[in-house]
Amino acid sequence: MDIFRNEEARVAARIDAVVPQFEYIAQCGGIISGKLHEIKNALKNPKSSGHSLFGSQLPRAEAEAKLEKVKNELDAYADKSKAAINDITRIFSEIRYEGRRNSN
C-alpha cells in the first residue's frame, strides 16, 4: 500500500502543471458549445425574413464567416486537448517509472 501512497503523493505534486490546461480547454469547450447551440437553434427555428442564411438576421457572408470561425476554434480546441492529454500521459508515465525505480 505504501507504493500507492507514494504514487498518489507524486501525482498530487505534479498535477498542478496540467490543471490550468484542462481549465482552459473546458472554458473553450463551453464557448464553442454555446456558439454551436446558437447555430442549431437558428436551423431548427428559422425566422421568415427570406434574406439570410438559416433565417437569421445575419447576411449569408457574415454567417459563413461565423461558421468558419467556429471551425477554426474547434481545430485549436482539438490541438490544445491533444497537447494536454500528451502532457498528462507523460506525467503519469514518469510517475510510474519513478515508482518502479524506487521500489527496486
79 found inside a domain: yes
Give me the helix-helix angle, 2-14 and 60-103, nearest 10°: 140
pLDDT tops 50 at residue 26: yes
Tell me if 57 sits within 8 A of 48, measured CB to CB.
no
pLDDT given at position 81: 94
In this structure, the dihedral spanned by the alpha carbons of residues 10, 84, 18 and 30, taken in order and rounded to 10 degrees, is -140
55 found inside a domain: no
pLDDT given at position 49: 42
pLDDT band at 92; cut points 50, 70, 90: confident
What is the number of domains present in the chain? 1
pLDDT band at 51; cut points 50, 70, 90: very low
Q: pTM of the prediction? A: 0.67
Higher pLDDT, 78 or 56: 78
pLDDT given at position 22: 92
Whole-angstrom Cα distance, residue 29 to residue 15?
A: 21
Domain that holds residue 20: 2-50+60-103
80 found inside a domain: yes
